[in-house]
Amino acid sequence: MFLILTLIIGLSLRKLYIRYFPIRDIKCVDSSSITSEISTTQIIDVRDYNESNKMPIINALNIPIG
């Protein structure tokens, strides 16, 4: 019984960790600092659909995440 409970808690904690902790070495950039100088960089917009629809980022790949 203790083993099953430990396994369930461990899997739940792992899922929460993967969902809510950012990936290392990925920089979060403010949308106002994006300039046209970055021609070789691919910008991925992962904002909510409502926010990204109101203020789109030009030439960005839009992947809406709620």
Give the tens place of pLDDT for each residue, 11-58. Answer: 999 988 888 887 777 777 776 666 655 566 778 888 888 888 888 888
H-helix or E-strand spanning residue 23: none
Q: Rounded to an integer, what distance in angstroms lies between the CA atom of residue 66 and that of residue 46? A: 9
Q: Between these two residues, 11 and 64, which has the higher pLDDT value?
A: 11
Cβ neighbours of residue 23 closer than 8 Å, sequence gap 6 or more: none
**pLDDT at res. 4:** 94
The reported pTM is 0.43
